[in-house]
Amino acid sequence: MDESDHTEFRRRIAVALDTPDREQFRRWISWFGPRVGVLKVGLEAFVRWGPAAVEEAGAQGRAVFLDLKFHDIPNTVRGAVRSARKLGVRYLTVHAGGGQAMLEAAVDAAQGEVAILAVTLLTHLDEPALKVLDLEGPAPRRVENWATLARRAGCAGVVCSPLEAAALRRANPAPFLLVTPGIRSVAAEAGDQRRTATPSEALRAGADLLVIGRPLTRAQDRQAALDRIGAEMSATDL
Ligand code: C5P
């Protein structure tokens, strides 16, 4: 199958550009930039190179997802979102656990120019890890409550585990965005992610945007990995 067959689906991939190596970061931007819909700049790149990382990723009109997961008092988050808006990012993350006033401050500062995505529970946290954190009880219920909170605060969507996407989609119809990390191709290694799903499972559950890092960036053969994921996505019965 020709790679162009998967174009529409590849637009729904956000590649996580997580690396401490500036040259590698630039190579990923030029390679993935024309092939996927969104480039995600995370903490590792931003803490090293600051706004220059966003500017490089966003050159030539590419959509940038700035994933800094803000979690602070509302006034500080408001200022940080305003700064991110000036950088021209398309998507920005905050922690839903920061509460309603913080989420509302983020949405207000975004002025409709940046899609605020609320992180529900980080996907590396399984129930034993949550128990240690004194967050006992079913994770899905917590995720649903926090997603509802985010929607009512005006967030554009949430970042959630693909395993929770179906329930969230039932409670939060489109255009509320469901963005899912923890994507692993069939038979791939999960790494430190716990609650994972394949690209097809995530799409079937209602995900709009799939965040994919290592399965693409660390693949021995990037083109083959992207083709395989694109093929899995386009073979999904939606
Ligand atoms: O390499 P991998 O595919 O696991 O990368 C997933 C990306 O998604 C990382 O950049 C990580 O920071 C991000 N992410 C996540 N879980 C969340 C939110 C973001 O894994 N809940």
pLDDT, tens digit, 9 for 90 and up, residues 141-164: 999 999 999 999 999 999 998 989
Tell me what the pLDDT averaged over the chain comes to. Answer: 93
Candidates 42, 84, 30, 33; CA nearest to 62 is 33
Candidates 75, 61, 195, 64; CA nearest to 124 is 195
Task: Band the pLDDT of 123: cuts 50, 70, 90.
Answer: confident
CA of 138 to the centre of ligand 1 (A): 22
Write down the pLDDT at residue 127: 83
pTM of the model: 0.93
Full domain range(s) for residue 154:
3-234
Q: Is the CB of 16 inside a 6 Å radius of any atom of ligand 1?
A: yes
CATH number of the domain within which 118 lies:
3.20.20.70
Helix axes 22-32, 51-58, angle to 10 degrees: 30
Domains held by the chain: number: 1
Write down the pLDDT at residue 185: 81
Residue nearest to atom 21 of ligand 1 (CA): 122
Give per-residue pLDDT as tens, 49-89.
999 999 999 999 999 999 999 999 999 999 999 999 999 99
Task: Report the distance separating Cα 5 and Cα 10, nearest Å.
Answer: 10
- Of 65, 123, 163, the residue with max ligand 1 atoms within 8 A of its CB, to mutate for a pocket test, comes to 123
Report which ligand 1 atom has the smallest distance to the Cα of 160.
21
Q: Is the CB of 166 inside a 6 Å radius of any atom of ligand 1?
A: no
Q: Is the CB of 211 inside a 6 Å radius of any atom of ligand 1?
A: yes
Report which ligand 1 atom has the smallest distance to the Cα of 121.
21
Task: Report the distance separating Cα 159 and Cα 41, nearest Å.
Answer: 15
Q: What is the SS3 assignment for 197? A: strand
Q: Is the CB of 143 inside a 6 Å radius of any atom of ligand 1?
A: no
